[in-house]
């Protein structure tokens, strides 16, 4: 009979606390595998934690958690890259499977960590790092496992989409950002979101998994929405186009082109219909054609849902002695990643960049005379 599978959690903030609560509830209809949370490493034992988390599980030493040989699976929810990279690497070296939502870590070091996991015969999962509750990586790895992906484009940052949606209704960028912060969509320091860094991390991860390429965030060109002119945005909106921060990539005979940039999308386009903090992605595969995923891409419930799904997969894989991560044999080295967007604001329609937005203004000006 399979012994209870041991779990350790690094971090017990909003997301980590929510994950711990669900794991401690031991919902058999969700997991179907006996598991035990042995330790939760936190920075301070004095901080109040979520209801239902026994203080006896809390420790203030990640080193002690990583040395605990009862633990088979480490869940990293602490964020950041320096310490997180060290702890994830040590967990894998020690023979533990790892689940994380750390987009910055996987975007910058995913290929290296996957190579380590593969050598050790372990799982490294991070569905929550790309689209929150959207099963983007599962779709790539499972539904499209035998069908080469040719391109994808998505709105992968709910904060930016919420800001742009609010600006359409009137007001400045600064006012929309303040509203997003009050609503909990934006961080106190929103730089990573509004400057495109967050979307670039997610784009790098998708290029890694969809194309099997060793892409990392520093090799991508990205732009954000900081300083977008509200009057121009509303002018384009009246003409049937909505501004979206797009993360797009395609693979062809010349290699890989990938980039994050704002673009105009027709209102009737699936990505143009996204409101508020919604995320969406269009995947185009050789045989299946176009698949569209849409839903909540950020926040505690969405992130926790994806983390728990990855945990359930790992638990079942341990029992079955198989791991889905074994399908990743390695990432092909790439010499260069080309930009995909022009330097000026352009229109995205059915997967093709068409005329620059300035032509819309020119056409409108001509028709007005």
- Starting at the edge strand that comes first in sequence, how are the strands of the sheet with 124-125 ordered? 58-59, 35-41, 5-10, 73-76, 97-100, 124-125
Please, what sign has the CA dihedral across residues 105, 107, 109, 114?
A: positive
- Do residues 6 and 38 lie in contact, with contact meaning Cβ atoms separated by under 8 Å? yes
Q: Which residues 6+ apart lie within 8 Å of 317 measured at CB?
A: 97, 123, 323, 324
Select which of 103, 202, 238, 244 is catalytic: 202
- Do residues 175 and 206 lie in contact, with contact meaning Cβ atoms separated by under 8 Å? no
> Is residue 202 annotated as a catalytic residue, yes or no?
yes
- Do residues 246 and 264 lie in contact, with contact meaning Cβ atoms separated by under 8 Å? no
- The count of C-alpha atoms lying within 13 angstroms of the C-alpha of 1, restricted to the half-sphere facing its C-beta, is 4
* Bridging pattern class, strands 352-356 and 346-349: antiparallel
Separation of alpha carbons 109 and 80, rounded Å: 12
- For residue 51, which of 8, 22, 10 has the smallest C-alpha distance? 22
- For residue 127, which of 116, 115, 136, 140 has the smallest C-alpha distance? 136
Report the catalytic residues: 202
């Amino acid at each position: 009979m399979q012994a209870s599978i041991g779990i350790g959690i690094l971090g017990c903030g909003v997301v980590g606390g929510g994950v711990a609560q669900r794991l401690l509830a031991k919902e058999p209809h969700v997991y179907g595998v006996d598991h035990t949370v042995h330790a939760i490493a936190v920075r301070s034992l004095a901080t109040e934690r979520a209801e239902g988390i026994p203080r006896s599980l809390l420790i203030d030493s990640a080193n002690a958690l990583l040395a605990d040989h009862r633990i088979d699976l480490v869940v990293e929810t602490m964020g950041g890259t320096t310490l997180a990279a060290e702890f994830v690497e040590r967990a894998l070296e020690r023979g533990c499977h790892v689940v994380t939502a750390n987009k910055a870590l996987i975007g910058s070091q995913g290929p290296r960590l996957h190579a380590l996991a593969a050598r050790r015969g372990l799982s490294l999962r991070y569905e929550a790092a790309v689209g929150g509750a959207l099963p983007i990586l599962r779709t790539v790895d499972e539904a499209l496992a035998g069908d080469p992906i040719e391109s994808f484009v998505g709105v992968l940052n709910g904060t930016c989409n919420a800001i742009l949606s609010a600006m359409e209704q009137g007001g400045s960028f600064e006012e929309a950002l303040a509203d997003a912060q009050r609503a909990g969509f934006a961080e106190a320091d929103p730089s990573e979101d509004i400057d495109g860094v967050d979307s670039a991390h997610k784009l790098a991860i998708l290029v890694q998994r969809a194309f099997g390429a060793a892409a990392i965030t520093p090799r991508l060109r990205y732009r954000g929405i900081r300083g977008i002119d509200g009057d121009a945005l509303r002018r384009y909106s009246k003409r049937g186009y909505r501004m979206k921060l797009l993360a797009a990539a395609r693979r062809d005979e010349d290699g890989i082109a990938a980039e994050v940039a704002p673009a105009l999308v027709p209102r009737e386009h699936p990505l143009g219909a996204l409101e508020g903090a919604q995320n969406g992605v269009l995947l185009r595969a050789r045989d299946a054609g176009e698949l569209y995923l849409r839903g909540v891409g950020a926040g505690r419930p969405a992130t926790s849902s994806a983390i728990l799904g990855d945990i359930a997969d790992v638990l079942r894989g341990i029992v079955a002695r198989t791991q889905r991560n074994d399908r990743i044999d390695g990432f092909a080295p790439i010499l260069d990643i080309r930009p995909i967007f022009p330097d000026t604001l352009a229109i995205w329609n059915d997967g093709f960049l068409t005329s620059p937005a300035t032509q819309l203004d020119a056409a409108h000006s001509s028709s007005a005379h």
